Amino acid sequence: LKGRKIPLSEIQKHASVDDAWMALNGKVYNVTRYVKFHPGGVDYLMEGAGKDATRLFHKYHKWVNVDFMLQKCFLGFFDAKST
């Protein structure tokens, strides 16, 4: 698994329906292509866009294997230490 370290400041720039990134479990995903397929609807998915959505994700999807589900959306690793 290759990928660069991505700071929160960069993730925050991608918080729209047309350009949505989120950090989940220490990895950053571009979920833009997935927005329209989210079973809970666009609004719920967008609550996590542009941020570390790990806690929110686990609140609703503890059983989901996010690495498998979003493997094609993987961009890099969340650099929580930098801003």
For residue range 34-57, what is the model confidence (pLDDT) as tens digits?
Answer: 888 888 889 999 999 999 999 999
Please tell me the pTM assigned to this model.
0.92
Q: What is the number of H-type helices and E-type strands within the chain?
A: 4, 5
Percent of the chain whose predicted confidence (pLDDT) is above 90? 71
Count the helix, strand and coil residues of the chain and give each as a percent rounded to the nearest 5: 35, 30, 35
* Interatomic CA distance for residues 72 and 58, integer angstroms: 20
Strands 15-16 and 4-7: unpaired
